[in-house]
Amino acid sequence: MPVCTTRDGVDIFYKDWGEGRPVVFIHGWPLNGDAWQDQLKAVADAGFRGIAHDRRGHGRSTPVVDGYDFDTFADDLNDLLTDLDLRDVTLVAHSMGGGELARYIGRHGTARVRSAVLLSAIPPLMLQGPDNPEGVPQKVFDDMKAGILDERSQFWKDASVGFFSADREGTKATQGNRDAFWYMAMSETIEGGVACVDAFAATDFHEDLARFDIPTLVVHGDDDQIVPIDATARKTAEIVRGAELKVYEGGSHGIALVPGFKERFNQDLLAFLQK
């Protein structure tokens, strides 16, 4: 398997498809690089090189018990980009992966980066507070952790409903979407599942976003039941200079996987890559 060994000895698995200018995909929680297969094929077919890695503790990467914080995730991404000597890269990140992308730029700058795409992403801050009333209450995150620790297999089956807005009338989410979500979630370590909740709930990315000096596309569904658009995408588009915001009406959190929405996202992504 193709792996990059990080500075602390963790093997990060990645897919590497196609040739051309590199596009690196960063997955959300609790998924892995398989979540990006439709987009990997789309960019490879269009003449780009698509790369998607599994975060530490997820998928086929080393199932470590520690390192589930955004400084570590950003440094893992830096190790991957450095190991493959990738330059002029477009970074594409979903959900929690958006925090990884933002922290990477905050810690390592944009010397290797051409542009960025934030899809249903968590920055600038998820946790509700006096300065972020649109955010998510702490109890929601506490219930997530309790669900994982109590019986994670059933928790992930239940969580797939909100992830894809499968409870909405006329939903385009399939049972296959929900099954794939469960399968990927079960390949994440239980320690990672719990620790990542604390990380993506409370990490503040305002300063990281302020360091963006590259073209940035922000895509978010207005029916995202996991990452509220008003607390995240709309604020990110105001912080990042020149950012373009695209709102998908009726779009769930799992835009890149759901039929109809994934084709629209692929078209928007390819159009952005051609700029």
Cα separation, 250 vs 239, whole angstroms: 24
Per the residue annotation, which of 61, 95, 160, 187 is the catalytic one? 95
Whether domain 3-273 has CATH 3.40.50.1820: the reply is yes
Q: Is 95 a catalytic residue?
A: yes
Cα separation, 108 vs 60, whole angstroms: 25
Cα separation, 113 vs 240, whole angstroms: 15
- Strands 244-248, 216-221: pairing kind: parallel
pLDDT tens-digit map of 262-274 = 999 999 999 999 9
pLDDT tens-digit map of 13-49 = 999 999 999 999 999 999 999 999 999 999 999 999 9
pLDDT score of 185: 98
Cα separation, 145 vs 141, whole angstroms: 6
Q: Is 53 a catalytic residue?
A: no
Cα separation, 141 vs 198, whole angstroms: 8
pLDDT score of 23: 99
Q: Is 220 a catalytic residue?
A: no
Per the residue annotation, which of 94, 165, 224, 252 is the catalytic one? 224
Q: What is the percent of the chain where pLDDT is above 70?
A: 100
